[in-house]
Structure 1
């Protein structure tokens, strides 16, 4: 009987695409889904790849179909479903058989599963959506390095490639891979939100049509902002609704969905004491977007500004610069968070390699990431904002970001991610801020003490302590 080189459980959108990718790269794969009908349907629709796919109808049959020592990928919904699947699968496996959770798990769950594992276990982040899973995702590995090395040939083969280099890298122990994937998703939230804010300025502030906005995004995708998200934003803006002939954007409800990974990033940033205001603002904006009835009530009560800007208040070049500055600031916040987690969890996360693994396959892939990788190689301890090449870009663009935020506020157009990035930047470039007032307040009501600026003495109090 033919034996597969790897197994996969869960033939939903991502699982099915990943299984086809594995088969397409010349590896025999055994698959199982909890509904047998789905397994049969998947195999029947695999076309020329069907001979490399072994459909199975029970977990026992799946396990018996894989060459030892086995490796089995889980592509099931994050949460209890993963624990239940591991509990059902592990008794059927040998001591060297490897379970790989490739879903969108919370890294703390992955930490727990790694510590509880009765056998080899990996948690890997997979980014790129259905298309990436099918034709080459970005893969962020976590777990024991020897276990990663066992399956690296398959993961490297199926991953996206940047100039021939696989976008598949081991990040560290336990939940390191899923942590990096969560920060990736947080950056994704912020990048998408900033693009949406610029779209809103062009639509409401400058009176541009969706198709004209799409052309601007297409143009920007040929320059410094070249990225997957700018590319698809141009396609979305330029698409007509088949049912009405209107721009598709004009018939889409303005309530953004989310699966929780952005929220996890914000929560972990607070635990680490690492500010990620652009991501925080993006998550908040999605939450607010879902409150459509409340927003309608607010408009009825307070009225809504027209959003129209004075002629010439902003132009397309200024908006491009604003987005460039905001994007750099967002990534700088994300990499600072990764650096803080690396120290806190003892992971030694490879920041330059993280930038490299994001260059292709994933949702946030962009032209800037190669330069970011180089900057992080030069000095991985330095905030990306301060790297010479990015500092120069921000110096050239920050006034246009400021003007964009000012004019948006004047017109009553919310731009929370751009605004929060500007506030972060202004804080980061001012050596003396205003937290001395907060320390004085804390000492007044709680005698928490403060440090003196002139002598450096700590544990000091104001006269109210006498």
Structure 2
């Protein structure tokens, strides 16, 4: 019997779906799970794909079943379990073999693992996989970090299983060590912002315009036919129109308003701060999830503080306001994507990755959670201006921001006056207003810093004087 082209450890939902995808695309795959019963069950349920799958019950059997140099995907819980699995594998591997972490790993862990194997003859790939369970089974977006040589060994398999956009596979080698997992982290940060902004628009429609879930679903359905066409807008329509089988009410009205998070959004904010790159919309989205989890505190605060005495938003032109909401969401999404790409550009310089921005936008066009129509436009914008300081100053996106900026301003103003929380939308607006202003207000901050700490400042006239005439005020 011929050897497998690739191996996979971890037959949870994501691992099982990825393994079936690999087998279905004509690649022979060896599989192993710490619990033997899980391996047997997976194989028993593989149906017509059984001939492409080699179920293994021991590590020794598993490693022997794969063609050298052996690429082995590890699809288990991130963190220490991955390190433990790698240690268990190492004694059985040979020079050139590749361990591939396909989970949602912190890219700094990926860099550490990559470096730890440098002199061992083995190598490591950190592989970001986006698209959830459905993507893993039928075609995810795949972001690869590692040596280019190790990528070439798995390129044929990954290209075959990746999502396709106009026949282009949504997979790419993005750079050494942690590049793939870093890009996946920022993808998730943008995803957090995108989801939060959609939720804020939903809140305006629900609480401001007093629309039902079904009516709001119709609005999102209409938007999905235009410039907001995207996976998240598409599924928002579906969840808003879905009925609860227990009560018959809209299922969204029966769901507790506490959002979970697994860490990637927080990591993207931490890295943005580490590199001094503003990612305010992403930060607001992460903070909003944290506030949402404090359900009991929020309910207690409402009893103490009450809600703003505004109630239903009164708009003279309801249809016009809903159009404003559409354009405001477009503008805010542009801000979130611009911030995410700016963080990646800074990381590319800091870690020497030379991240290909047009390629990243390309492989996000299908398979991943943030896939949307305007990723095509981002691809074009960065292809024409690869060294642009920011997405929003490229000609196409500058025009879009100018066109939709007024709607975002009106929507944020209306929401704030109506007492409706819109932290991500407001952060995107604040980002635009700060970034576009040539003369800001940080001169006062610099004066304050010099006053109390003698930190100095630069002068607009370039004169060689870097401290203020504070005199005895320094000791105040």
Of 126, 130, 146, the residue aligned with 2:133 is 130
- In the alignment, the residues of structure 2 paired with residue 67 and residue 273 of structure 1 have an alpha-carbon distance, to the nearest angstrom, of 45
Report the equivalent of 1:282: 285
TM-score, normalised by the number of residues in structure 1: 0.98
Q: Contact (CA 8 Å) 2:454, 2:467: kept in 1 or not?
A: no
SS at match of 1:121: strand
1:295-353 per-position Cα deviation (integer Å, ceiling 9, x unaligned) = 00110001013542113376210100000100111101111111111111111000110
- In the alignment, the residues of structure 1 paired with residue 452 and residue 147 of structure 2 have an alpha-carbon distance, to the nearest angstrom, of 49
Q: Does 1:370 align with 2:370?
A: no
Superposition misfits of 4+ residues, deviation over 6 angstroms:
none
- In the alignment, the residues of structure 2 paired with residue 56 and residue 152 of structure 1 have an alpha-carbon distance, to the nearest angstrom, of 24
Report the equivalent of 1:216: 219
Report the equivalent of 2:208: 205
1:389: how far off? 1.2
Of 309, 327, 332, the residue aligned with 1:326 is 332
Q: How does 1:148-159 map to 2 (within 5 A)?
A: 148-159=151-162
Provide closer, same or farther for how the CA distance between residues 447 and 30 of structure 1 changes in structure 2, counting only shifts above 3 A: same
1:463: how far off? 3.1
- Structure 2: runs of 5+ lacking an equivalent: none
SS at match of 2:377: helix
Report the equivalent of 1:72: 72
Of 247, 250, 272, the residue aligned with 1:247 is 250
1:462: how far off? 3.2
Of 437, 444, 447, the residue aligned with 2:444 is 437
SS at match of 2:416: helix
- In the alignment, the residues of structure 2 paired with residue 168 and residue 248 of structure 1 have an alpha-carbon distance, to the nearest angstrom, of 35
- In the alignment, the residues of structure 1 paired with residue 330 and residue 230 of structure 2 have an alpha-carbon distance, to the nearest angstrom, of 11
1:456: how far off? 5.3
- In the alignment, the residues of structure 2 paired with residue 351 and residue 225 of structure 1 have an alpha-carbon distance, to the nearest angstrom, of 21
SS at match of 2:72: strand
Report the equivalent of 2:199: 196
Report the equivalent of 1:421: 428
Q: Contact (CA 8 Å) 1:452, 1:460: kept in 2 or not?
A: no
- In the alignment, the residues of structure 1 paired with residue 352 and residue 2 of structure 2 have an alpha-carbon distance, to the nearest angstrom, of 42
Q: Does 1:393 align with 2:400?
A: yes
- Structure 1: runs of 5+ lacking an equivalent: none
1:224-262 per-position Cα deviation (integer Å, ceiling 9, x unaligned) = 000000000000001000000000110000000000000
Higher deviation after alignment, 449-458 or 95-104: 449-458
1:414: how far off? 0.3
Q: Contact (CA 8 Å) 1:203, 1:209: kept in 2 or not?
A: yes
TM-score, normalised by the number of residues in structure 2: 0.96
Provide closer, same or farther for how the CA distance between residues 458 and 151 of structure 1 changes in structure 2, counting only shifts above 3 A: farther
- The aligned length equals 466
Higher deviation after alignment, 158-167 or 304-313: 304-313
- In the alignment, the residues of structure 2 paired with residue 457 and residue 189 of structure 1 have an alpha-carbon distance, to the nearest angstrom, of 46
